């Protein structure tokens, strides 16, 4: 009976070690999150992607921005989720001089904070969106990966961060 308890204890320890290793791996991969700012339909949106530029879920992320408009006026805004992998910047001016986005990702007791600074030097381009899933933007025409509807062209301006700072694990 003693050897059975010992074997059970060893198995529990192995499972706990695997769970801890998996948690560390998922947090480490989250350090590779990227933010892209986009102006579309007169509003600003913040899209979150992983290291492969695939959409990343906004479920466990809170976001806010501090921006300075073209006249130098400062504004702080909390973001609302937009679809499954983006945020819409509510009540913010679409013409900005500088914008700093703060993304806070919590996983258990661990927190990762990403600060992404954007300057108003975006690129105008076409993206393709689904009328049913407007947060699902594609670079090329085709069909929506969620519902199969044809994507329609949208004129957007995309901004890449000029500076990114990551804190936490």
Q: Could you report the per-residue pLDDT of 124-166, keeping only the tens digit for each?
A: 999 999 989 888 888 899 999 889 999 999 999 999 999 999 8
- Give phi and psi for 9, each to the nearest 5: -60, -45
Could you tell me the pLDDT band of residue 31, with boundaries at 50, 70 and 90?
low
Confidence at residue 169, expressed as pLDDT on a 0 to 100 scale: 64
Question: What's the confidence (pLDDT) of residue 28?
Answer: 45
Q: Does domain 32-122+158-168 have CATH number 3.30.300?
A: no
Kindly indicate the confidence band of residue 20, based on its pLDDT and cuts at 50, 70 and 90.
very low
pLDDT at 71 over 50: yes
Domain ranges of the chain: 1-30, 32-122+158-168
- pLDDT band with cut points at 50, 70 and 90 for residue 78: confident
* 165 touches 115 (CB < 8 A): yes
Q: Where are the beta strands (DSSP E) in the chain?
A: 34-40, 43-49, 61-69, 74-82, 86-89, 96-107, 110-119, 123-129, 137-138, 152-159, 163-168
Question: Which of 62-66, 104-108, 129-133 shows the lowest per-residue confidence on average (mean pLDDT)?
Answer: 104-108
Q: What is the mean pLDDT of residues 97-114?
A: 89
pLDDT of residue 50: 83
Banded model confidence at residue 19, pLDDT cuts 50, 70, 90: very low
Query: Is-contact 61 49, C-beta < 8 A?
Result: no
Scored b (16 or more CB within 10 A) or e, 16-41 reads eeeeeeeeeeebeebeebbbbbbbbe
Q: Which two tokens stand for residue 142?
A: 């085709």
Question: For residue 34, how many C-alpha atoms fall within 13 Å in the half-sphere facing its CB?
Answer: 13
In sequence order, which ranges of 31-114 are alpha helices (DSSP H)? none
């Amino acid at each position: 009976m003693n050897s059975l308890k010992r074997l059970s204890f060893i198995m529990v320890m192995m499972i706990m070690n695997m769970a801890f290793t998996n948690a560390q791996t998922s947090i480490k991969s989250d350090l590779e999150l990227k933010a892209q700012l986009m102006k579309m339909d007169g509003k600003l949106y913040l899209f979150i992607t992983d290291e492969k530029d695939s959409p990343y879920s906004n479920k466990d992320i809170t976001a806010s921005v501090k921006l300075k408009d073209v006249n130098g006026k400062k504004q702080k805004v909390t973001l609302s989720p937009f679809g499954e992998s983006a945020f819409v910047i509510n009540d913010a001016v679409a013409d900005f001089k500088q914008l700093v986005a703060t993304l806070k990702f919590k996983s258990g007791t661990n927190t990762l904070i990403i600060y992404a600074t954007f300057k108003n030097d975006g690129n105008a381009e076409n993206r393709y969106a689904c009328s049913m899933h407007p947060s699902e933007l594609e670079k090329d025409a085709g069909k929506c990966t969620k519902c199969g509807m044809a994507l329609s062209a949208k004129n957007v301006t995309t901004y890449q961060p000029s500076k990114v700072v990551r804190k936490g694990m």
